[in-house]
Amino acid sequence: MITVNNLTKKYSGTTVLNIDSLEIPKGQSFGLVGNNGAGKTTFFSLLLDLIRPTTGAIENNQIKVSESEAWKPYTAAFIDESFLIGYLTPEEYFYFIGELRGQNKADVDSFLAPFEDFFNGEILGGKKYLRDLSKGNQKKAGIVASFIGNPEVIILDEPFANLDPTTQIRLKRLIKELADGNDVTILISSHDLMHVTEVCERVVVLDKGEMVKDIQTSTETLQELETYFTR
């Protein structure tokens, strides 16, 4: 689904990302870990064509993301608050995203119904705009919005950060369901090694922009990662 070739990103001479080749097959749940500055968000921004690669290219379903925009209809992402429209209520935001993805109001309503637990009564029907919600609730709204319209590729940057423990557990279940069910490719970055090994079939470790580990998740993966990061 995602093919990376000779991808580098440099900022005034410093290489912040350098991936020779990476292939993420359709339907895989892919985890990205690494310390601050490892290049996780840079990689996701490149994948969404929000920044331009210095060399190389990323293909999303055989479409070069920097050349065509045809990848947009089946790709969804939540990177940070700049993916939220602050002056909308959560409902309005979901309808807006839904309309862009060809879903009418009724579709979005029936899509949202199963998320009642996840929202914990704090998102829908409240009298608050997104900008006035707490960081955790903003994140919940953003993550759920990225699931609207059956996207084939979902990109979530640090989805577990800022969430309360109950929601973290619910989110893990949601992601697993998505990964098990249809052919959705999910890309997740996280600082929480336990969460990543739990929900991802494959974990890649980035260090200063280089891919240093590429592991198919097994029972030993968490141990292996912990050993790696204990330096």
CA–CA distance, 50 with 224 (Å, rounded to integer): 33
CA–CA distance, 28 with 194 (Å, rounded to integer): 18
How is residue 91 written in tokens? Answer: 């409902």
Q: Is 158 in the site for another protein (CB under 8 A)?
A: no
Q: Is 83 in the site for another protein (CB under 8 A)?
A: yes
Q: Is 131 in the site for another protein (CB under 8 A)?
A: yes
Q: Is 99 in the site for another protein (CB under 8 A)?
A: yes
Cβ 31 to another protein shortest distance, Å: 21
Residues 101-130 binding another protein (CB under 8 A) are 101, 105, 126-129
Q: Is 27 in the site for another protein (CB under 8 A)?
A: no
How is residue 57 written in tokens? Answer: 């290219």
Q: For another protein, which residue of 16, 22, 88, 222 counts as binding (CB under 8 A)?
A: 88
Question: Scanning the structure block, which residue is given the tokens 């410093």?
Answer: 14
Which of these, 63, 37, 35, lies nearest to 48 by C-alpha position? 63
Residues 30-59 binding another protein (CB under 8 A) are 48-52
Reduced to 3 states, what is the DSSP secondary structure of residue 200?
Answer: coil
CA–CA distance, 1 with 203 (Å, rounded to integer): 16
Bridge partners of residue 230, in order along the sequence: none
- Give helix 90-100 / helix 135-145 axis angle, nearest 10°: 20
Q: Is 92 in the site for another protein (CB under 8 A)?
A: yes
Stretch that binds another protein, among 12-20, 28-36, 87-95, 221-229 (CB under 8 A): 87-95
> For binding to another protein (CB under 8 A), which residues are involved?
48-52, 72-73, 75, 77, 79-80, 82-89, 91-92, 95-97, 99-101, 105, 126-129, 131-132
